[in-house]
Amino acid sequence: NELQDTKGVVPPRSAKVRKGPAALPSGDYCRKSWRSLVRIERKSGTDEIMHNCLTRDRVRFEACLERLSLQCRIPYLFIEAPLNAYWNSGALRKDAEEALDILMGLCAKYGIRVISIGRKSASPAARRNIGEFLLRLMLSHVNDPHNQKGKP
């Protein structure tokens, strides 16, 4: 019962979560036995998304999303920022909206679900809550009868 976490989110008290010893080939969060079912890639917010979508880094970022979609049936992109941050970026608003459009296009292209959870928090309690949310999200897919072995 281990959830591999390469981003250092504090584990929920109800599950064994450990920080992975090395980066995963795709995604930042997964449980070892669920790797082919569900993985979650994490981005820390607007600045990281803008960098990934609007610079030369876009090629690497797209390859990362493609790998994620190929290595599991249910890929997620978890953005640790409120989506309204893209419209409240002041002078960068046009760039932020362009980055969001590129991001949504890439997620549609690779069948990646997107979730956003407010702002990034360094508080252990808040990070524990995020870890528990991500674990529950993965469990919801594991417990779905359509995802059981032998099902389409």
Q: What is the pLDDT of residue 129?
A: 80
Query: Whole-model pTM?
Result: 0.76
CA-based angle 93:127:57, to the nearest 5?
A: 40
pLDDT in tens, 32-57: 778 788 888 888 888 888 899 999 99
pLDDT at 17: 47
Please answer whether residues 93 and 87 qualify as being in contact, where contact means their C-beta atoms are separated by less than 8 angstroms: yes
**Residue 109 has what pLDDT?**
97
CB 76 within 8 A of CB 120: no
Q: Could you tell me the CA-to-CA distances from 139 to 17, 80, 133, 136, 148 in Å, in that order?
A: 13, 20, 10, 5, 12
Q: Which residues of the chain have pLDDT under 70?
A: 1-25, 85-92, 119-122, 148-152
What pLDDT shows up at residue 42? 87
Question: How confident is the model at residue 47, as a pLDDT?
Answer: 84
Contacts of 129 (CB under 8 A, 6+ apart): 12
Supply the pLDDT for residue 1: 39
